[in-house]
């Protein structure tokens, strides 16, 4: 498989596929950049390359909405497909199938190289100044400028045995410090706990503008103790090239446009947030998190910063809707459950997982199937993002929202079809959560069983009113042959 090796190659590919718009008008990173991206996302527009940023030297650029939805029929997931080395018109269920198998591919360890363009400019020690980088204030309610909306945050456990590449938001405090939530149930929080035990600052590195596949893998629910860099290498069928950091014992992708290094404090914390999140709401809560002290900034000449403008769907969390569905599909298949497909509608902001099942391949009761699916999904990190599951029959196209809503409306029993699972672990960003639920990161999840009851005999199951089911083949053939003659267009 021919995957793309750098952000610049990705931009060139998007341009060739007519999936990119270059903006040469000067744009202000203070709110204007976010507003342009938001309006474009609402229209399902192309990726945006901002070539002139107010207050920054010529050559500093921003790639906005690198993997968001596209409006043309059959191309909604085109940027995600291209990021994975696939054709732009690859169907979303095929993308999900490929991602569902990614963690099971033979891992390939990275290699260290000596040189990289990301070292062309270096700011070390007292010369560190985060204001040289375009950190936009995306939404007027945000608590500060967010440098990291599409970054790779690299940390490792204190024993050095587990390296994590994760996707976390990163806010600028001042010229030398940053902040990000260190949620204990996330891998970065687990790493921080190991450094806390020995009371030593945790080293970190943040890489911006890597090859397009890496952020996608970093945003997936890869299991603990599995290093994402090995997974990226396995998918690309070649080792990822890394370069060593300047001031900490970590390595970053050699393809990076910009790298920030430093250590996370054990005793200094500052308020982070609020931030307008992927849920589509400005979450007004602020919280103190440990300070990220920056010891080095390196970047390419004429660097390109990828930026995502989170908010009401659909935006770049389209990618996470696909990767989380892929993770769920992988878990369900490994559990031996009769699952045909899994899909998270982009408009659900990761909150609804739709699963199609082949019930004739399951020998248990309806409730046993519901419980097995719920246990499999919600016992894994994948499930912490998806508090609602809808199970539908295998005749439903799970990518068609009309079909999904129709199935929910006509097949889900208002009593027997609702199954509640209290005290389930979740990511505490859902806007409907009560304060105590957010603090505990636990709530009640639900499964909607929208399949025909197994108590129904086959002959009692209603027949779908489709052409294939209710019109004979000769009539359908005549219909097809005479369609244009009737006056219709193909």
Examine the domain organization and report whether 62 and 136 are in the same domain. Answer: yes
Examine the domain organization and report whether 300 and 361 are in the same domain. Answer: no
Task: Tokens for 137, please give them.
Answer: 């204030």
Examine the domain organization and report whether 231 and 347 are in the same domain. Answer: no
pLDDT value of position 427 = 87
- Is 26 a catalytic site residue? no
Full domain range(s) for residue 456? 335-460
pLDDT value of position 466 = 82
Q: Is residue 152 part of a domain?
A: yes
Active-site position among 228, 257, 277, 315: 277
Q: What is the pLDDT of residues 216-244, one digit of tens each?
A: 999 888 888 999 999 999 999 999 999 99
Asked if 434 and 441 touch (Cβ cutoff 8 Å), the reply is: no
Q: What is the number of structural domains in the chain?
A: 2
Examine the domain organization and report whether 284 and 343 are in the same domain. Answer: no
Confidence of residue 161 (pLDDT cuts 50, 70, 90): very high
Task: Tell me the average pLDDT across 147-170.
Answer: 95
Examine the domain organization and report whether 47 and 195 are in the same domain. Answer: yes
Element of type H or E holding 409: helix 401-411
Task: Tell me the average pLDDT across 153-172.
Answer: 95
User: Percent of the chain beyond pLDDT 70?
Assistant: 100
Taking the mean position of all CA atoms in its chain, how far away is CA 423?
A: 25
pLDDT value of position 395 = 93
Examine the domain organization and report whether 280 and 370 are in the same domain. Answer: no
pLDDT of 470 strictly over 90: no
Examine the domain organization and report whether 290 and 390 are in the same domain. Answer: no
Task: Tell me the average pLDDT across 457-468.
Answer: 86
CATH code of the domain covering residue 191 = 2.30.110.10
pLDDT value of position 490 = 65
CA distance 378 to 274: 27
pLDDT value of position 456 = 87
Examine the domain organization and report whether 178 and 247 are in the same domain. Answer: yes
Task: Tell me the average pLDDT across 334-360.
Answer: 95
**In 238-286, at which residue ranges do the beta strands (DSSP E only) sit?**
241-244, 251-253, 258-272, 275-276, 282-283
pLDDT of 1 strictly over 80: no
Task: Tell me the average pLDDT across 307-315.
Answer: 87
Task: Tokens for 361, please give them.
Answer: 């391949």
Task: Tokens for 255, please give them.
Answer: 């393809």
Examine the domain organization and report whether 261 and 154 are in the same domain. Answer: yes
pLDDT value of position 30 = 93
Q: What is the pLDDT of residues 122-150, one digit of tens each?
A: 999 999 999 999 999 999 889 999 999 99
Angle, CA 97 vertex, CA 79 and CA 93 arms, to 5°: 60
Q: Is 391 helix (H, G, I), strand (E, B) or coil?
A: strand
Query: What's the predicted TM-score (pTM) here?
Result: 0.89
pLDDT of 279 strictly over 90: no
Choose one of 254, 289, 307: the last residue of a domain: 307
């Amino acid at each position: 498989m021919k995957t793309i090796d750098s952000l610049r190659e990705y931009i060139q590919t998007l341009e060739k596929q007519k999936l990119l718009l270059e903006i040469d008008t000067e744009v202000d990173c203070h709110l204007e950049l976010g507003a342009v991206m938001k309006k474009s996302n609402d229209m399902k527009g192309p990726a945006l390359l901002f070539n002139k940023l107010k207050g920054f030297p010529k050559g500093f650029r921003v790639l906005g909405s690198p993997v968001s939805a596209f409006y043309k029929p059959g191309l909604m997931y085109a940027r995600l497909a291209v990021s994975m080395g696939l054709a732009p018109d690859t169907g979303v269920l095929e993308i999900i199938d490929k991602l569902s198998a990614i963690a099971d591919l033979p891992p390939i360890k990275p290699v260290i190289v000596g040189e990289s363009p990301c070292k062309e400019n270096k700011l070390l020690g007292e010369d560190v100044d985060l204001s040289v980088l375009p950190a936009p204030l995306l939404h007027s309610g945000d608590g500060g400028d967010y440098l990291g909306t599409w970054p790779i945050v690299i940390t490792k456990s204190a024993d050095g045995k587990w390296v994590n590449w994760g996707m976390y938001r990163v806010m600028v405090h001042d010229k030398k410090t940053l902040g990000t939530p260190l949620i204990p149930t996330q891998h970065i929080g687990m790493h921080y706990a190991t450094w806390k035990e020995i009371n030593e600052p945790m080293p970190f590195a943040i890489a911006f503008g890597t090859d397009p596949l890496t952020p996608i893998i970093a945003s997936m629910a890869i299991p603990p103790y599995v290093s994402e860099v090995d997974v990226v290498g396995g998918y690309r069928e070649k080792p990822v090239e890394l370069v060593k950091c300047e001031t900490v014992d970590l390595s970053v992708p050699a393809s990076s446009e910009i790298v920030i290094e430093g250590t996370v404090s054990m005793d200094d914390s500052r308020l982070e947030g609020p931030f307008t999140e992927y849920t589509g709401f400005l979450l007004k809560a602020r919280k103190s998190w440990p300070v990220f002290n920056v010891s080095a900034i390196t970047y390419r000449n004429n660097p390109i910063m990828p930026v995502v403008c989170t908010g009401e769907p659909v935006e770049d969390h389209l990618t996470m809707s696909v990767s989380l569905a892929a993770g769920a599909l992988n878990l369900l298949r490994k559990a031996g459950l009769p699952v045909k497909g899994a899909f998270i509608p982009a408009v659900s902001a990761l909150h609804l997982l739709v699963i199609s099942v082949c019930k004739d391949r399951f020998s248990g009761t309806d409730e046993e199937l519901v419980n097995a699916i719920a246990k499999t999904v919600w016992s894994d990190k994948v499930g912490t993002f998806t508090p609602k599951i809808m199970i539908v029959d295998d005749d439903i196209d799970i990518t068609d929202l009309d079909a999904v809503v129709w199935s929910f409306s006509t097949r889900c029993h208002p009593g027997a079809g609702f199954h509640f699972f209290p005290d389930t672990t979740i990511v505490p960003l859902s806007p409907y959560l009560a304060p105590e639920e957010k603090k505990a990161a636990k709530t009640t999840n639900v499964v909607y069983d929208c399949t025909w009851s197994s108590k129904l005999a086959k002959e009692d199951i209603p027949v779908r009113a489709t052409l294939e089911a209710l019109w004979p083949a000769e009539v359908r053939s005549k219909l097809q042959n005479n369609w244009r003659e009737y006056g219709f267009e193909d």
